Amino acid sequence: MADNKGVLILAEVVDGKLAAIATELLGVGRKLADDLGEELGALLVGSEVSGIAQEAIAFGADKVYVVEAPALKDYRTDSYVPVVEKVAKEVMPKILLMGQNSVGRDLAPRAAFRLETSVSTDCVELAIDADSKQLLMTKPVYGGNARAIYTTESMPQMATLRVKAGEPLERDDARKGEVVNIDAGLDESAIRTTVKDTVLEEIKGIKLEDANIVISGGRGIGGPEGFQELEELARMLKGAVGASRPPCDSGWVPDTIQVGLTGKIVSPDLYIAVAISGSSQHLAGCGGSKNIVAINRDPEANIFKEAAYGVVGDWKKIIPAFKEKAKGLLA
Amino acid sequence: MNMIVCVKQVIDPEAPPASFKIDAATNSVVPPAGVPPVISPFDEQAIEAALRIKDAKGGKITVISLGTGLLRDVVKKPLSMGADELILLEDPAFDGGDSWSTAAALAAAIKKVGEFDIVFCGRQAADWDSGQVGSGIAEILGLPSVTLAKKVEVGDSKVTVERVIPDGYEVVEVGLPALITVSNELGEPRYATIKGIMSAKRKEPIIWAPADLEIDTAQIGAAGRRVKMLRLFQPVREGACEIIEGEDEADAGANLAAKLAEVKLL
Ligand SMILES: Cc1cc2nc3c(=O)[nH]c(=O)nc-3n(C[C@@H](O)[C@H](O)[C@H](O)COP(=O)(O)OP(=O)(O)OC[C@H]3O[C@@H](n4cnc5c(N)ncnc54)[C@H](O)[C@@H]3O)c2cc1C
Ligand SMILES: Cc1cc2nc3c(=O)[nH]c(=O)nc-3n(C[C@H](O)[C@H](O)[C@H](O)COP(=O)(O)OP(=O)(O)OC[C@H]3O[C@@H](n4cnc5c(N)ncnc54)[C@H](O)[C@@H]3O)c2cc1C
């Protein structure tokens, strides 16, 4: 244990740039590293990623470990787990962090078991305990009804960070850091899965995760027609449409617009929840919004406990009038 | 096709948030009065995935559940849906574990079952929401894993899995045996049939204690824990909601738009 030092984060790359989660991890990791008085490392894995090393430094890394191989272009469990294992054994970090997203959800648990350590997934807060110097990992449990704080003695202390739970640093291109190449040492015959196809849902308009205004509908919308009304409103407000799980499960809207614990995490300035009861699992995905507005016919609905503004009543009467008024105001 | 499905009994995650209580002194959750526990919903979907394969190709489904205080009506539900066998790891020594020790015990039980082509788990248990026992079992048993399945189709000696990704899905092929975790996009699990309920009633679960498994008791339950829970608490909800009124619902809707414009949110 005494030999483990520093903080290492997995820096994911999307479209040739650092992913938002990578900058968030660097922000959180920087603070942890400073509190320990140790280094912050970033691990870049992919086929052509070395060009991004400087960006990771600009966002806070002291050292960037680059692992490149053609087979690492896309994420595969069996190609990434051995890379994380190899790097973790060479670098020996005290703390190893990833994002709680498509990659981290799959990679972190398997890598943790491979390294014979543990991982606390979906953390919303990470801090160093002033006395023990251990990592305190705070994670919502029971769908968000409670939070647990975990620690571990096993090394490295691993956690995944919830998307948008961390604050990136201001980009500073004058920052200096070191880049270290590590050989992937991949045995491609050990990759046991093949991806035959990738099917992507077409996104119309603004991306849900990037929108400043999100209008989400729940079970009470009643069918796909109602969502068309929300869609029109969203277009008018230059926002995006989301949903709770039941409309996705019922096929009224694509699964990809589900907001919540097991869907997308959004934190717009304005989140309008229409006919959504406000389950803890749904709030896990929108609780970070600056302002929640609830429209629900049940005055006791839990969503009103989270909302800044609310209207009690039938959305079918409220939304058209809201739209009409907003149109006038925006004109 | 021999399939094993791991299912966990949990406090009903759909119980109203207001009924959720914890006992801060013991860092534990107080089960809400009058709300019976359920099989974790994703685990029911894992059962459904296995049943669809059984419908198409035939085969045997063995269900394993680890826990204490397992209600027979609850843990027998997979049998009443059409699963064949139920194994319970119901012993205090298995209790109080973390994802690591839970995966270790389940992996040892799966080894003892012996013959299997696919192990199914849920994507995450609806209580601790950790989402790692499946991958952990795969790692311990040296199996390939595909997580977040929304569709599973069995061909000759391999399966094709539609795996959920943020903006769609991937079609992944994997050889057998393999471990697959199931997400809700798979679709609704089927209801139990009357016939199923009757035959489940008659079927006694097989109960295994640590001594029945090839595993060191230091690896299971609280003894095998690698993660320590320091504290469990309920976050305080602050903030009061301003209810916007009007002469009628439509008027209230218009007033809401005016209010949001006034506070510069539109
Ligand atoms: C009193 C108490 C104290 C606890 N203390 C700690 C602690 O100190 N540290 C800690 O990390 N956790 C602690 N836990 C939580 C711990 O027991 C988790 O339940 C355990 O980590 C299993 O992980 P999970 O439920 O998050 O499963 P996940 O990884 O979310 O489960 C994924 C899938 O694995 C399968 N699975 C999981 N569990 C079972 C099971 N029991 N039987 C059959 N299949 C299963 C299911 O298919 C499930 O869908 C405590 C729980 C209790 C009740
Ligand atoms: C492990 C786990 C993970 C989950 N992950 C997610 C997740 O990521 N995202 C998610 O959303 N859910 C998730 N869920 C499901 C979650 O528990 C709830 O079941 C779900 O969020 C409820 O959706 P809802 O609010 O739309 O439906 P309901 O709870 O049925 O609420 C419908 C609401 O609509 C109101 N209503 C009905 N008609 C009208 C009308 N005409 N006008 C105005 N109001 C009306 C009702 O008063 C009610 O409040 C998860 C569950 C589990 C167990």
- The pLDDT tens digits for A169-192 are 999 999 999 999 999 999 989 999
Which residue ranges form the domains of chain B, and what is each CATH number?
2-224 (3.40.50.620)
Which of B129, B187, B229 is opposite residue A261, by nearest beta carbon? B129
Which of B22, B241, B254 is opposite residue A304, by nearest beta carbon? B241
Beta strands in chain A (DSSP E): 7-10, 13-14, 17-18, 40-46, 63-68, 95-100, 119-123, 125-128, 135-141, 146-152, 157-162, 178-181, 193-200, 213-217, 240-243, 270-274, 291-296, 309-312
Q: Is the pLDDT of residue B237 over 80?
A: no
Contacts of A142 in chain B (CB under 8 A): 11, 13, 20, 29, 127-129
Q: Which residue of chain A has the CA closest to B98?
A: A118
8 Å CB contact of B168 and A140? no
The whole-number average pLDDT for the span B136-147 is: 98
Output Rg (C-alpha) for chain A, integer angstroms: 22
- A73-132: pLDDT as tens digits: 999 999 999 999 999 999 999 999 999 999 999 999 999 999 999 999 999 999 999 999
User: What pTM value is reported for the model?
Assistant: 0.95
Confidence of residue A41 (pLDDT cuts 50, 70, 90): very high
Total CB pairs under 8 A between chain A and B: 255
8 Å CB contact of A312 and B243? yes
Contacts of B260 in chain A (CB under 8 A): 270, 293, 309, 326
| In contact, A295 and A273? CB cutoff 8 Å | yes
Note the pLDDT of residue A2: 57
Note the pLDDT of residue B119: 98
B161 to chain A, closest Cα gap in Å: 9
Number of other CB atoms surrounding residue B239 within 10 Å: 10
- B164-180: pLDDT as tens digits: 999 999 999 999 999 99
Fold of A7-190: Rossmann fold (3.40.50)
| In contact, A209 and A184? CB cutoff 8 Å | no
Q: Is the pLDDT of residue A1 over 60?
A: no
Confidence of residue B24 (pLDDT cuts 50, 70, 90): confident
Which residues form ligand 2's pocket by a CB distance below 6 Å? Answer: A 143, 218-220, 244-246, 258-263, 275-277, 279, 281-282, 285, 296-298, 301, 314-316; B 13-14, 41, 126
Residue matched to tokens 């190449």: A181
Please report, in angstroms and rounded to a whole number, the separation of the first and last CA atoms in chain B: 57
Choose the weakest-confidence range: A204-208, B142-146, B203-207, B211-215.
A204-208
Percentage of residues in chain A with pLDDT exceeding 70?
A: 99
Task: Give the atom of ligand 2 at the shortest distance from the alpha carbon of B42.
Answer: 1
Note the pLDDT of residue B39: 97
Look at ligand 1, atom 28, and give the residue with the nearest C-alpha. B131
The whole-number average pLDDT for the span B103-119 is: 97
- A295-312: pLDDT as tens digits: 999 999 999 999 999 999
Please state, in angstroms and as integers, the Cα–Cα distance from residue A95 to each residue in A45, A155, A175, B218, following that order.
Answer: 18, 8, 22, 25
Percentage of residues in chain B with pLDDT exceeding 90?
A: 93
B36 to chain A, closest Cα gap in Å: 16
Do the domains spanning A7-190 and A208-330 agree at the CATH topology level? Answer: yes
8 Å CB contact of A143 and B129? yes
Q: Is the pLDDT of residue B29 over 70?
A: yes
Cis peptide before A156 (omega within 30 of 0): yes
Residue A271, helix vs strand vs coil: strand
Q: Token digits for A269?
A: 């300035």
The whole-number average pLDDT for the span B62-80 is: 97
User: Where exactly are the structural domains of chain A?
Assistant: 7-190, 208-330
Instruction: Choose, out of B148, B176, B180, B266, the residue to mutate when testing the contact with A (most A CBs < 10 Å).
Output: B266
Q: Which CATH number fits domain A208-330: 3.40.50.1220, 2.60.120.330, 3.20.20.70, 3.40.1160.10?
A: 3.40.50.1220
More confident residue, B139 or B16: B139
